A and B are shown apart, each in its own frame.
Chain A
C-alpha cells in the first residue's frame, strides 16, 4: 500500500473505532491524531516505509480509543447489570439465516450477515469464517451439486466433497454456537 493509502486506512480505522466515544472526546482524538500524522509527515516521514513505521509507533487505533474511553463504560456491561444470556433472538436468527436465509429471496442471507457482524457474541475472525465458509449458505452447496463440470467426478472424490459441503454450514453453526459469548467482539 502507498503511504497515502496507509494513512487513509489508518484514519478510517480510527474513526470507526472511535464511534462509541462521546462526541467531544471523539472529535478531539481524531483532530489530535490527524495533526500528529501531518506533523510527522512535515517532519520528514515521506517514504512509504517511513509512513508505515510512523503509524506503527502511533499504535493500533483501537488501543488509542480504549485509552480515550478511560473512565467511561462503553461496551462492557457494569457489574451491577444482570448477566446477559449467551444467545438472544438475533443470534438464533443468525443460526438459521446463514445456512438457509438465501432461500428467503436472497436477502435473508444478507440479513443474517448484518446480524452476525453487528452482534457482540463473536470475534472478527469467527465472523469472517462464518461469512466465507459457505457464502450464501446452502445455495453454494446446491450450485456446486448442479453445476456442469464437463466431466463427472469419480464417486470416491465426489461423494466426500458433497458430504463436506453439506456439513460445512452446519459445522459453522455448531462452531458459532459453541464460541458465542457476550462481549467477545471486543476481544
Chain B
C-alpha cells in the first residue's frame, strides 16, 4: 500500500489520544486496554508498543497508575487519566476536528477535479 508510511505516522501521532480517550472516567489495566485498542480497525499493529506509550504518558503525568491484585492471575497495573490527561485530550480533539475538516475539504476538491 502506497499510503502505508503515512498511516504509520498518523497512527503514531493519534494513538496516545485514543489511549487517553479510553481512560476518561474509567480505569483499565494494560491487557484490557491493549485488547480494546486492538479492536479498533487499523489502530494497532504491534500490541507490545502500547506499553512504552503508557509508560511515557505516565512520565508526562497524563495518566496515573496503581497496582491491584487480580482474582485470576498476576497483579494488574491499572491506568487512569489525570486532569492534565483530560485537558490534553480536549485540546487535541479540537485541533483534530479542525485538521480533519481541512484535509477532507482539500481531498474532496481533488477528487472532484479528477472526475472532470
What is the interface of chain A, defined by CB distance below 8 A to chain B? 25, 28-29, 31-36, 38-40, 42-43, 57-61, 63-64, 67-68, 70-71
Q: How many residues of B contact A (CB 8 A)?
A: 22
A36 to B34, CA, bound (A): 9
B4 to chain A, nearest CB (A): 15
Q: A36-B34, A40-B31, A59-B45 are in contact. Are A29 and B72 (CB under 8 A)?
A: no
A144 to B56, CA, bound (A): 57
Please determine whether B72 and A32 come into contact, CB atoms closer than 8 angstroms: no
**Contact of B52 with A by CB under 8 A:** yes
Q: A36-B31, A59-B45 are in contact. Are A64 and B52 (CB under 8 A)?
A: yes
The residues of B that contact A28 with a CB separation of less than 8 Å are 51, 55
Total A-B pairs in contact (CB under 8 Å)?
Answer: 71
Give chain B's interface secondary structure class.
helix
The residues of B that contact A35 with a CB separation of less than 8 Å are 30-31, 74-77
Give chain A's interface secondary structure class.
helix
Give the top 9 A-B pairs by smallest Cβ distance, nearest first.
Answer: A59-B46, A68-B52, A39-B31, A64-B48, A32-B51, A67-B49, A67-B52, A58-B48, A42-B73
